[in-house]
Structure 1
Amino acid sequence: MLRPLIALLAAIAATLVIGWIVDQVLQRVAASHPDAAVWPLLRRCRVPLQLVVVSALLLAAAPLERIFHQHDDNLHHLVLLFLLGSVGWLAVRVVAAVLEAVLGRYETVADDPARLQRVQTQISMLRRVADAVIVVVTVAMMLLTFSAMRTIGAGLLASAGIVGIVAGIALQGTLSNFFAGLQIAFGDTVRIGDTVVVDGQQGTVEEITLSYLVIRLWDYRRLVVPVSYFVNKPFENWTRRDPGLLAVVVLHVDHTTPVDRLRAALYERLERNPRWDGTEWALHATDTTPSTLVVRATMTARTPDDAALLRFDIREQLVAYLRDEHPGALPRLRTEEHPGRA
């Protein structure tokens, strides 16, 4: 009995030593390659790696077989399941580290915000798909270790066609959302951080999964929309190509309003406003009504949020300018007495 216990302690000690050696190697490689972010991220895999090593040593060490035989095959099977689960966990950590390193590397060299958002969305979707595949494969391998599952395996394969048809009908909505999520990720129709309008509600895409999108509305509510919606129905994406937007302010003023002075006042206020990106601006009289002159001011901003706040600021400041400098320019309702009436 002493020899199996010594082998057990040796397996645990070997696991700790291997984990320490791998961690030191990753530290040295990361120090010699500071531009490669993958090596520091791989250090997160130390715990699952140690679990894989200790479970593999427990199964491979010949002296430990006596412990397994003394406590029947259930203990041996339990360690095998633990090994398979640890391998799956290690694979998930490695994939996450590699994808995060790729994204980090791209963020340092990308100068196009729209392209960066697209890559972020695609990598996030790839990670979810990879995690799902690893979990399914790991669970399937764990189930196949049971003798009952191996016995009925042939029957399951024989009836796979019928089961696939039934499952496809039952999971039609889930499968459509899954493939719609992949289409969104690689079709570049919507990305994380995009400003979209869905059923008249404007918001920013906060999260994209294989089945739904989370949109943060202006009042911080979250709108959860199935991904199939963005494939089957039209929607507005204000930042798909260019995150900048044109802010528009429409004023109804009196016909006697000095438009040239109002235009100069607009430019003065835009120069002092940090939300204006300095690209475009204009002010034109676009229409008239029997009682007012319709004036439209346009200006560009870097983001949809800046455009909205810029629009609010300029509207308030132009109205204040007319009130203080040209009070007669504010809309008035004129009444005139008919000459033939007393």
Structure 2
Amino acid sequence: MAFPQKSMAHAALLLLAALLSGCKCNSVSLCCPDYEMGNAYTATKIFTGPGTEDIALDTSQGYPRLIVSCDERRGKRPPSGSFYSIDLRTRDTFKFAIDRDLETFYPPGKKLADWHPHGIALARIDGADYLYSVTHRGKKGRIGFRANEILRFRIGADTLYCDTVFRSAELKTPNDIFVLPDGSFYVSNIMKKASTWQFIRSAFGGKTGDIAYCHPNKGWNTVIRKQGYPNGIFVEETTQSLYMVHGACKEVNRYALAAPGKVDLASKKSAPQKIVMGDNLTRDAEGYFWTTSHPCVFKFMKHGKNKEKHSPSLAYRIDPNTLEAELVYQNNGEEISAASTALWHDGKLYLSQVFDGFVLEVDVE
């Protein structure tokens, strides 16, 4: 999930404007309920790099581990983000080495040394295992970047080998990504450009986001337009269905794919879910989908500037057939704030987050 760092006074003015805009979808509430678990559970923090925005389950090395996309999103950012590994058998962690200076991919005079990973996806293509990462470069003032790209890495035991950079004007505000076995992929753009106004407008249902598609040999196109903060995406090849978290409209939608990179918009299905500002989307071994929610937008914004100001975290399990959602985890933010990805594996729930430097392992009893 993207976060624009501006004063709350400015945000309040934009809120007033958005209230008057008459948007049909609305994920902003001026009050924030209490969110606490009603059943027994245990939780363990697994520390990595800062801002564990996305996680993906990797079994390429013969054991289960999480690959974690990390980046500092508060204050002054370091030159680049990082990727971490979490061994799910032992909770041991390490930071992946990158095989080369990523500047070598850029022509002279146009190099931007910094790179900031965001949403990630794993795929096996022609027998090799790859990590795809939404990446931002060239911080522009306080909000946004000068370049948005997709980096592809071949996955090694402790090293990531970067071999491809995907660039396109279709990458406006990329957040999440899903990759298919033929190397094609879908990317969500949460809004048309990064700005405080666009963020507030999107939270109130302003439909400026979209879903883009790329085939390495055929190019790019937009497959779904005019969405209100579209975020997590997943493609089910067996049924040729595309699932999308529609953040501002508080739902998960399912579309039929008429062809690769072509969505049958009339096939849209959903259910009353109330998943406020839903984030990334994962699927477990049983076929259920998982996503997180940022139910209190203004608390989320405050947490982005001050880690001591908590932002509630919710995690949902979604039936792929009925699209009905079950709330599995909730916390006011003292345990984990601004959770961005929920991943279920071997009876445990793993939660990553936008700003702080750990993944939470939750064992619900």
Range of TM-score over shorter length? under 0.3
TM-score w.r.t. length of structure 2: 0.20
TM-score w.r.t. length of structure 1: 0.21
Which protein has the bigger strand share? Answer: 2
Higher relative contact order structure (alpha carbons within 8 Å, sequence separation ≥ 6): 2
